[in-house]
Amino acid sequence: MRKSEWSDEQLEKLLREMPRIEDKRDPRDIYQNISLKMAKKKQRSWIIPSVATAAAVLILAVLTPNLFSGNFSSESSMESRSVSEQADQAEMNMMVEDKQEQEQDNHVEEKIEIASEDKVVEEGSEISTDDGIDEVYTALYDEDVADENVFIFAIPDREGQNIVPITVLVPKEKGKSLFEQYVDTMPKLLENEWGLKEYFPLKDVELSVDEDGILKVNIPSGQTLQGSSNEIAFTSALKRTAKTLGLNGIELYTDDQPGIEMGNSGNLQTLDLSEDANFAYYFYYSGTNSRTPYLVPYGGTFNNVESALDAMKENVNTHQLEASIPENLEIEEVHSEDKEMLTLQLKEKSEVSDTPTILQTIEAILLTAKEFDFEKVKIEYNNLESIGKFTFNKEINVPVAPNKMDLLN
């Protein structure tokens, strides 16, 4: 074998002149990756020495071609390429395995995140159905009332066109009469925030209840109620007060003298609580809430519940009241087997969907049925099982009162 023509000094100089190889990766990342891989598969530890050995063999083969001759040089070159290819293949396998492990970790993290979101949805399920409908009930129901007083106030809208019945729950107080608690509640009403007219407490009006259960209303002299809207708002507020408190009548006074001068009705000394007015309930949207309507009674001249339900399909443009029964909800038949329950049969082609608006339509129907002294309503329909807590083809109790609102604490 022929002696190499390269001296040790020449080889050393040549190696120093070769381009410098740098690894720009963060040493902490390199250490962490190596530690993880060694922990998972210690059998992979042979790869790094093999790569180093292969690289050394390859460099020697390039720099010292004359050290080997003939077939031995060719065989060494082939062996070097074989070792290098094995090292490259091993590195590729490691990269593929790392990618698979990363994808698996991401999948696990994604499942954990989805499970967390499901838990949040489950915890907030009190206001949503399985289909995600917000159950915006406007009325007060039996299950909403515990050991509390149910107070209803008749409050005008800001234009004075409609009287909106507002229901609040007030904890019972020992040592106070129902009337005293009712009067104490008046300043706590948030009419302005509710998009209504600030009406309570009644300005310059003295209220009292005598031993016979008569509401006595006394105003100062010189005060008259001009205009039909003012008169309607005033008398509606007084009638609602008397009915809420279960009183027997209303007497009107001016400076302790019988009678109050009304703009349209003249001098009135009493208000009749026995009038049999039956109202239909419509949607009224205030300026502060364009999503959830108030359910407002209107009409009072309906002879039967069928005519009231028919009227609820049309807007009352003069009072900014919207139809509470949409056109696609078609009532085929209305009948009552007894005086307690009203049955409505919907046409099968009716487009009834699980939405807040239809839920409030059902509430308007229930409140209208209550105007005609029905205690329960059954809506027959086979294309949908239920909307919120209202189940079709089963009896539904009418609400206790409309438009439940929260008080200022």
136 touches 359 (CB < 8 A): yes
Structure-token pair, residue 92: 């590729």
Residue with the larger pLDDT of the pair 53 and 219: 219
pLDDT band at 271 (very low <50, low <70, confident <90, very high): very high
In this predicted structure, the answer to whether residue 34 has a pLDDT above a threshold of 80 is no
DSSP string, 92-112: HHHHHHHHHHHHHHHHHHHHH
pLDDT band at 26 (very low <50, low <70, confident <90, very high): low
86 touches 79 (CB < 8 A): no
* Cα–Cα dist 388/401, whole Å: 18
User: What percent of the chain has pLDDT above 90?
Assistant: 56
* Cα–Cα dist 321/341, whole Å: 27
Residues near 301 by beta carbon (within 8 Å), at least 6 away in sequence: 277
In this predicted structure, the answer to whether residue 175 has a pLDDT above a threshold of 70 is yes
Q: Please, where are the H alpha helices in 124-227?
A: 178-185
Average pLDDT for the chain: 79
Give 283-339 pLDDT, tens digit per residue.
Answer: 999 988 778 999 999 998 899 999 999 999 999 999 999 999 999 999 999 999 888
Looking at mean pLDDT, say which of 36-50, 122-136, 318-332 comes out highest. 318-332
What is the per-residue pLDDT for 128?
A: 40
In this predicted structure, the answer to whether residue 66 has a pLDDT above a threshold of 70 is no
Q: Please, where are the H alpha helices in 124-215?
A: 178-185
Residue type, 346: L
Provide mean pLDDT across the span 255-280. Answer: 90
Range in 14-23, 113-122, 293-302, 321-330 the model is least confident about = 113-122
- Nearest 5°: phi and psi at 154? -90, 110
Residue with the larger pLDDT of the pair 129 and 209: 209
Pairing of strands 376-380, 331-335: unpaired
Bridge-partner residues for 254, per DSSP?
A: 219, 257
* Cα–Cα dist 205/233, whole Å: 14
What is the per-residue pLDDT for 45?
A: 43
In this predicted structure, the answer to whether residue 394 has a pLDDT above a threshold of 50 is yes
Residue type, 281: Y
In this predicted structure, the answer to whether residue 30 has a pLDDT above a threshold of 70 is no
What's CA 81's distance to the chain center, in Å? 67
Residue 224: C-alpha distances to residues 62, 200, 228, 230, 252 (Å): 115, 18, 12, 10, 12
What is the per-residue pLDDT for 13?
A: 64
pLDDT band at 119 (very low <50, low <70, confident <90, very high): very low
Residue 84 class from Cβ within 10 Å (0-12 exposed, 13-18 middle, 19+ buried)?
middle
In this predicted structure, the answer to whether residue 188 has a pLDDT above a threshold of 50 is yes
Residues near 117 by beta carbon (within 8 Å), at least 6 away in sequence: none
